């Protein structure tokens, strides 16, 4: 078909001169006029709004206004394109308007719709892309098969090498180096060599001889606990038991907390008690302290058990171990 410019008239062969058909080139109007017979109004508007650009919609609006006595309203706002397409579709559906026959030149500008009214050109493009992907998958499958075959070959080679090494090591340990242990030598001649003598005659660097390493005997550490023997005295060492104490009254003083720590102690030797008030999230509601209790190293475990016992502290007081961070503030 020869391309006809917009607004021209073509006379059909065999028809009178009065029977003429007006034809115009516009892909969007061609799609709307063709799909108005099979698709609902809302579906056509949505498809065109999603597919066509603003300049294509304005060009279709200007072209359809040439066949009408009045101009279409100029739409504004965010939904300008959708409302303009609605006006165009309403004109195409109105049987009182005489419109030319619109045709399309660029088939790619005709949007594909449902399976019943699909665009075969788009289907063919998708099928071509799918075929390319299938070919690539077949190529990968062939490469994987080659890799599997190479792995099986390497497994067989490794198995052969391992078997050869085992046989060579067994062949090295022949009868001349390891005589029979039943008391007879070769040619049924009695052998007077003992088992210990035969073992000593084996070279130290023999590949079949493996000397087991002796395990070192570890002597356990002993710490004296006797109180009767006072002839010598050990060095006095001290350890700290750090405790986090919270949910105390906001006006609690450090001296009161120190007295509470001494009241908890029964027979532990406490060298020092240090209290450090911490910044609470709600200082008007409660106060928190870091309590460091210095005791003998020998009594550290017992001190932890005593000061981390619920029975040692007053009712409602929150207590847990306090650990100092090496790279930051304590918590």
Q: What is the pLDDT at residue 307? A: 86
pTM score = 0.33
Final residue in a domain of this structure, among 54, 88, 116: 116
Domain boundary among 68, 93, 116: 116
- Residue 55 pLDDT: 92
Range of 34's domain?
Answer: 21-116
Q: What are phi and psi of 187, to 5 degrees?
A: 60, 30
Instruction: Extract the residue ranges of the chain whose pLDDT is less than 70.
Output: 1-21, 114-122, 164-196, 198-199, 202-212, 265-266, 327-331
Does 167 map to a domain? Answer: no
Q: Which residues, including other chains, have CB under 8 Å from residue 71's CB and lie 6 or more apart?
A: 65
C-alpha angle 256/279/240, rounded to 5°?
A: 60
- Alpha helices per DSSP H over the chain: 27-35, 41-51, 54-65, 80-93, 120-172, 195-201, 254-264, 300-307
CATH code assigned at 295 = 3.30.70.380
- What is the model's pLDDT at position 17? 37
Q: Is residue 135 part of a domain?
A: no
- Domain end call among 86, 116, 146: 116
| Overall domain count for the chain | 2
36 within some domain: yes
- The residue count of the chain comes to 331
* 79 part of a folded domain: yes
Contacts (Cβ under 8 Å, ≥6 apart) of 125? none
Strand 101-103 with 20-25, pairing: parallel
Structure tokens at 328: 């930051």
β-bridge mates for residue 294, sequence order: 240, 272
């Amino acid at each position: 078909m020869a391309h006809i410019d917009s607004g021209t008239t073509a006379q059909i062969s065999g028809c009178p001169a009065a029977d003429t058909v007006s034809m115009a080139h516009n892909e969007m109007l061609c799609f709307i006029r063709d799909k108005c017979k099979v698709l609902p109004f809302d579906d056509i508007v949505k498809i065109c709004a999603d597919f066509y650009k603003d300049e294509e919609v304005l060009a279709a609006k200007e072209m359809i206004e040439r066949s009408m006595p009045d101009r279409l309203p100029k739409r504004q706002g965010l939904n300008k394109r959708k409302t303009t397409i609605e006006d165009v579709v309403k004109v195409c559906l109105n049987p009182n308007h005489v419109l030319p026959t619109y045709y399309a030149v660029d088939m790619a500008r005709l949007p594909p719709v449902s399976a019943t009214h699909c665009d075969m050109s788009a289907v063919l493009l998708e099928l071509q892309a799918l075929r390319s992907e299938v070919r690539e998958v077949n190529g990968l499958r062939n490469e994987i098969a080659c890799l599997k075959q190479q792995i099986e070959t390497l497994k067989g080679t490794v198995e052969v090498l391992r078997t050869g090494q085992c046989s060579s090591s067994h062949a090295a340990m022949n009868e001349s180096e390891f005589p029979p242990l039943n008391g007879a030598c070769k040619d049924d001649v009695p052998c007077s060599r003992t088992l210990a003598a035969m073992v000593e005659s084996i070279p130290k660097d023999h590949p079949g001889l493996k000397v087991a390493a002796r395990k070192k005997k570890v002597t356990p550490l002993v710490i004296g606990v006797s109180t009767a023997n006072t002839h010598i005295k050990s060095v006095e060492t001290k350890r700290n038991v750090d405790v986090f104490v919270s949910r105390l009254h906001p006006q609690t003083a450090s001296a009161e907390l120190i007295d509470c720590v001494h009241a908890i102690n029964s027979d532990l030797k406490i060298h020092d008690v240090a209290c450090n008030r911490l910044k609470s999230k709600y200082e008007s509601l409660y106060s928190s302290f870091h309590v460091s209790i210095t005791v003998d190293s020998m009594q550290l475990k017992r001190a932890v058990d005593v000061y981390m016992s619920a029975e040692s502290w007053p009712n409602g007081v929150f207590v847990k171990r306090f650990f100092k961070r090496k790279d930051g503030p304590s918590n």
